[in-house]
Each structure stands twice: as structure tokens, then as C-alpha cells.
């Protein structure tokens, strides 16, 4: 029995998969009429470069743009959301918890996000709909919880946008502190508006090139860091003789005790925020079946290359008691451990290079925030969880009013210009870090519920074209790790470092996101009067993509013919 929660899926996907994994006569996936219609528009209209592009798309064409290419999706997966949390916020984590805490916590969060993205990949290939994971919560868990997750995600990205453009302004201050911060906030805000005028293709191209820059810079940094650790640095710097792991002994591998270790989790969660955007982007590719699995596999490299190895080298080179790290929580790039390591090494100009990379990264996250928030807001409108005006999609495939609503939130960046505004802004920032954990937990639980409903309705695993590596066990592990992080954050909120007991203000500052999500959940329940879905109520057939089972069976045959070790490598990499 289908619930009203499925209506959004039926509007999004008009084809129902009728093929089976063993039926060679199953029909191949074909482009829908909306994509053929878009091809008839001029180049200027398709890419949002003329006034006609702002006109509403014909009423029978509700799909978003489909112009994203596999190369875009791969780069979004491997480096799309690397931003201030990684390059700047990691300094506060290093100062508060020490290098061992940073390494361990980021490995644990990496294991968690690895399973999250694979669970999302399995769902997105089956049901690649606009709004992505939020709609999976509505369909497989509880419509009220889906309402909460949708608005929580919109709120999360709406807050991240002003944060990132503020950090971009502070980054420019590294070279020219005399220009008022408000000027740079305005400049970068307008730049993000310009990118979004170009629609999906503008976002995809910006993410492709910025991710390429971030990937290249991180590889360059790690090569140089490895040389520095071995003592190959300039004589004018600190690393002209063998450096090794001395920072793990003096001042020590851990700082702040158990509280310091727990505090790093939230920084790690904020740093990984946006990894799930690959699931949203899949709805705007022509063939998610072919492009999404490869993009999901890139996440392994992202976790190991960017986060774990990159921050491991940072922990080797920068002392956790370095006073310059203290300002990292405010977004000041002078406090970035990557910049500090460059200065300590005596590498002239390399600190400027890293600041350019940080600048590119934070602008990239700002663009991603508008993309993620607007697509989710559009899906909320389509399912009746937000005003219908947000379902407006113009002739270039942009959800125009949803994009505008998120872009307007960039004005919150000006709050940092006054002392009282900075306090309010920091509260918003604290909300966004913890909010991602609820999103990831919902993705994993929706995956578990989907598998149960899939079996309940008589389907087999062979009918799932792309499966999560560790199945539901991986999703349960991720939920367990998320639960541990929420407990750790609760502990730190109740008893902050250096204090036995927090004030009420300190507690809510650290744990406010929990109550915000609860508030959205209650609002969703009273609005729609729908609660927990039983397995009989979950419809696993409506809205499924029509898949090319000839292609799927051929790929499975190729995989089966490979030696076991090559199958393992191909599955992960």
C-alpha cells in the first residue's frame, strides 16, 4: 500500500522498472521527454545566459537539468566538499585533541562516511530523484522524519553559505588586511550568485576545476610534508634535519584528555559535510546507473588521501600547543595548520599558495551549499512540505526560487561585522556541524528499511543493480558510530574541557541541533499526521528507474570472470 509520501517519487520518476537481472529482453533506459525538450532550446537558454532562460519550464516537465557529466560526478565525489573544516577547522581539532585524536577520529568518521555514501549510492541508482536522501527518509522510514531531515538539510546549507563567504573574506585579509571584510563578503557573495545563474552546468564545472585544484594541492602538500618529516627542508626552516614523529612525544599525541578526544568528532563531522552531495548530483546526470557507482568508489580515495593522510602529516609537522592554532575556530586562515607548516618549513611563497587553495575551497563549498540546499527545498515543495513556489523550475533547469532563497541567506555573513552578530553567527555555525550527523544516520537507516521492505515484497538482492559493499551491516556500523559521536558531543556539552559542569548556555550551544531536529520532526507530524511506516506500507516499486539490464548483466559477467583479488580492488577503487 503506497502512502502519500510516495507522491513526490511518482512526480519525479515517470518510469517504473520492469526489467529483471536475468531478463535479457528488458528495455534499456531511455531519456525522458523533458531531456529531448531541453535539447531544443538554444545554447544561451540551456545555460541560463538570457532572459528567456528564467521563464518557467512547461508544466509537464518537472525534472531538473540533466547536463552533469560523469567527470563532474567523479570530481564532486572525490573533492567536492573539501573546505574550511578541513583546511582551517582542523587546526582547532589539533589544538584541542592532539595529533592522535585527529587521526583516530577522522579514521572513524571516514569508516562511517564510507558506508553512508555506498548506502546512498545503492538507493540513488534505484531511485535517483531530486531531493535525494531526504526523500528516502520520507519513503522508507517516516514522512514526519523525512520532513525533519529535509528542513534540517536546507537549514544546514543555508548557514554554511554565509560562513564560507566570511572565511573567504578573511583569507583575502592574509594579503591585504586594510580592505574592510564587508567588501570581500560582497564580492564573493556576488561571485556565487553568478555561478548559480549558470545553473547545474555552472555548479558542475566550478566543482570539477576547484576539486582538481584541491586534489593537486593536497598531493603536493603531502609530498613536501613527507620530505619535511625526513629532514629535507630548507636550512632556514624547522625541518632541515630528521623530524620524524617528535610532535607525538612533545607535547604529546593526545591533548585535553578524553574530552579533547571527544571534541574532535564534531570538527571531523563538519569537515566531512557535503560528501553526500554526490547522491543529489546523481539526479542531474543522464545515466546514474553508469556514472554514480564509479563516483561513489572515489570516496575511498577522498577519505584516505585528503583526510587521513593529509591530517596525519599535519599532525607530524605542527605542534598541537602552537598558539597560532587557537584562532582556527574563527575561520582565520593564519591559524590553518597547512599554512603554519608552510611557514615553519621556510618555504617562501608556499603559505600564499595554500591560502589560494583555501580560498578556492571555501568558495567551492559556498556554491555546493546553494546547490544542495536549493535542490532539497525544491523536493520539499514537490511533496507538499514547503510552499509550492519552490517547485518553480525555469527553462535552463534551475529551481529558481529555491536557489534565490538560499542565496539570500548569504547576507548573514555581515553579522560577523559586529560583536553581538558574531555571537549569533557562532550559534548558527554550531548547529550546522552536528546537523550532518542526523542526515547521515537517516541515509543509513533508510537503506536498512529499504532492504527489509525489498525482501518483504518478494524481491531478491540480484534485482538491485548497485549494492553497498558491506550491505546493511555497514549501515548499522555507521549508525553505531554516529550514536557514539552524539554521546561524545553530549558529554562535552555537559562537561566542557576545563570545567566540571557546563552552564545552560554552554550546553545548548553544543547540542542545540538535537532539539532543532526534534522540533522539525514534531512540526512534520502535526502537519501531515503520518508516522512510522510499516513494511506493508512501503512501496518499493513506484518511481524506480527503467534500467538497462543488458548492460548490468554484462558488467556482472565481466566482474565474475576476474580473479578474486582484482574483484576486490575493483569493488573498492
The pLDDT tens digits of the residues spanning 411-430 come to 988 887 876 655 666 676 67
HSE-up (13 A, CA, CB side) for residue 382 = 32
Distances in Å between the Cα of 347 and the Cα atoms of 91, 232, 244, 289, 436 are 20, 12, 19, 46, 37
Binned at pLDDT 50, 70 and 90, residue 167 comes out as: confident
Alpha helices (runs of H) in 457-503, residue ranges in sequence order: 471-494
Cell of 545: 528507474
Distance CA 516, CA 512 (A): 6
What's the whole-number mean pLDDT along residues 41-45?
72
With the C-alpha atoms ordered 81, 83, 87, 93, is the resulting torsion angle positive or negative? Answer: negative
Cβ 297 vs Cβ 573: under 8 Å: yes
HSE-up (13 A, CA, CB side) for residue 79 = 26
Distance CA 413, CA 345 (A): 34
Cβ 134 vs Cβ 150: under 8 Å: yes
Cβ 329 vs Cβ 302: under 8 Å: no
With the C-alpha atoms ordered 422, 203, 134, 449, is the resulting torsion angle positive or negative? Answer: negative
pLDDT at 473: 96
What's the whole-number mean pLDDT along residues 177-206?
88
pLDDT at 19: 41
Name the 3-class secondary structure at 346: coil
Higher pLDDT, 69 or 138: 138
Whether the predicted model's global pTM rises above the 0.75 cut: yes
Distance CA 186, CA 20 (A): 53
pLDDT at 403: 93
The pLDDT tens digits of the residues spanning 280-324 come to 777 667 777 777 787 787 777 777 777 889 999 999 999 998 888
Binned at pLDDT 50, 70 and 90, residue 36 comes out as: low
Q: Which residues are 268's β-sheet partners?
A: none
Q: Find, among 113, 71, 70, 27, the residue nearest to 289 by Cα.
A: 70
CB-neighbour burial class of residue 505 (10 A; exposed 0-12, middle 13-18, buried 19+): exposed
Cβ 150 vs Cβ 446: under 8 Å: no
Distance CA 557, CA 377 (A): 40
Name the 3-class secondary structure at 37: helix
HSE-up (13 A, CA, CB side) for residue 449 = 22
Binned at pLDDT 50, 70 and 90, residue 31 comes out as: very low
The pLDDT tens digits of the residues spanning 252-264 come to 999 988 888 988 8
Cell of 4: 502519500
pLDDT at 573: 63
Residue 320, number of CB atoms within 10 A of its CB: 27
pLDDT at 4: 44
Amino acid at each position: 500500500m503506497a502512502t502519500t509520501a510516495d507522491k513526490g517519487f511518482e512526480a519525479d520518476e515517470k518510469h517504473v522498472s520492469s526489467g529483471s537481472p536475468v531478463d535479457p529482453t528488458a528495455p534499456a533506459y531511455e531519456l525522458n521527454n523533458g531531456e529531448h525538450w531541453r535539447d531544443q532550446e538554444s545554447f544561451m537558454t540551456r545555460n541560463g545566459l538570457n532572459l528567456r532562460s528564467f521563464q518557467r519550464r512547461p508544466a509537464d516537465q518537472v525534472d531538473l537539468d540533466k547536463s552533469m557529466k560523469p567527470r563532474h560526478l567523479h570530481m564532486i565525489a572525490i573533492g567536492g566538499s573539501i573546505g574550511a573544516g578541513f583546511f582551517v577547522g582542523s587546526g582547532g581539532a589539533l589544538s584541542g585533541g592532539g595529533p592522535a585524536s585527529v587521526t583516530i577520529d577522522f579514521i572513524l568518521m571516514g569508516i562511517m562516511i564510507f558506508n553512508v555514501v555506498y548506502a546512498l549510492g545503492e538507493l540513488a541508482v534505484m531511485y535517483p530523484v531530486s531531493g535525494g536522501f531526504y526523500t528516502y527518509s520520507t519513503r522508507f522510514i517516516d514522512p514526519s522524519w523525512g520532513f525533519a531531515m529535509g528542513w534540517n538539510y536546507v537549514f544546514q546549507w543555508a548557514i554554511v553559505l554565509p560562513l564560507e563567504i566570511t572565511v573567504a573574506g578573511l583569507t583575502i585579509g592574509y594579503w591585504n588586511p586594510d580592505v574592510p571584510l564587508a567588501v570581500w563578503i560582497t564580492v564573493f557573495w556576488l561571485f556565487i550568485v553568478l555561478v548559480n545563474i549558470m545553473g547545474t552546468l555552472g555548479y558542475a564545472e566550478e566543482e570539477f576545476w576547484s576539486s582538481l585544484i584541491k586534489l593537486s594541492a593536497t598531493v603536493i602538500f603531502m609530498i613536501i610534508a613527507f620530505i619535511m618529516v625526513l629532514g629535507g627542508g630548507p636550512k632556514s626552516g624547522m625541518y632541515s634535519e630528521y623530524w620524524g614523529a617528535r610532535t607525538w612525544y612533545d607535547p604529546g599525541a593526545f591533548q585535553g584528555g578524553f574530552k579533547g578526544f571527544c571534541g574532535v568528532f564534531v570538527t571531523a563531522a563538519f569537515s566531512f559535510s557535503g560528501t553526500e552531495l554526490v547522491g543529489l548530483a546523481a539526479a542531474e546526470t543522464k545515466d546514474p546507473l553508469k556514472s554514480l557507482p564509479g563516483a561513489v568508489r572515489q570516496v575511498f580515495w577522498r577519505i584516505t588521501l585528503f583526510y587521513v593522510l593529509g591530517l596525519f602529516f599535519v599532525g607530524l609537522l605542527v605542534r598541537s600547543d602552537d598558539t597560532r592554532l587557537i584562532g582556527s575556530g574563527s575561520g582565520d586562515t593564519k591559524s590553518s595548520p597547512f599554512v603554519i607548516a608552510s611557514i615553519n618549513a621556510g618555504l617562501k611563497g608556499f603559505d600564499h599558495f595554500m591560502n589560494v587553495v583555501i580560498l578556492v575551497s571555501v568558495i567551492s563549498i559556498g556554491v555546493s551549499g546553494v546547490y544542495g540546499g536549493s535542490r532539497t527545498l525544491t523536493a520539499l515543495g514537490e511533496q507538499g512540505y514547503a510552499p509550492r513556489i519552490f517547485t518553480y523550475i525555469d527553462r535552463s533547469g534551475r529551481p529558481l526560487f529555491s536557489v534565490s532563497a538560499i542565496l539570500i541567506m548569504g547576507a548573514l555573513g555581515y553579522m560577523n561585522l559586529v560583536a553581538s552578530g558574531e555571537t549569533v553567527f557562532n550559534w548558527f555555525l554550531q548547529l550546522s556541524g552536528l546537523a550532518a550527523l542526523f542526515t547521515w544516520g537517516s541515509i543509513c537507516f533508510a537503506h536498512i528499511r529499504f532492504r527489509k521492505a525489498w525482501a518483504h515484497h518478494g524481491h531478491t538482492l540480484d534485482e538491485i543493480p548497485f549494492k553497498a559493499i558491506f550491505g546493511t551491516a555497514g549501515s548499522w556500523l555507521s549508525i553505531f558510530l554516529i550514536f557514539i559521536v552524539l554521546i561524545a558531543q553530549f558529554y562535552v556539552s555537559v562537561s566542557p574541557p576545563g570545567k566540571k559542569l557546563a552552564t545552560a548556555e554552554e550546553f545548548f550551544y553544543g547540542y542545540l541541533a538535537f532539539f532543532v531536529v526534534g522540533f522539525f520532526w514534531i512540526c512534520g507530524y502535526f502537519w501531515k499526521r503520518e508516522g512510522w511506516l510499516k513494511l506493508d506500507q512501503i512501496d518499493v516499486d513506484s518511481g524506480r528507474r527503467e534500467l538497462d539490464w543488458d548492460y548490468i548483466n554484462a558488467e556482472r559477467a565481466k566482474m565474475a570472470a576476474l580473479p578474486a583479488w582484482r574483484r576486490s580492488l575493483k569493488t573498492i577503487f
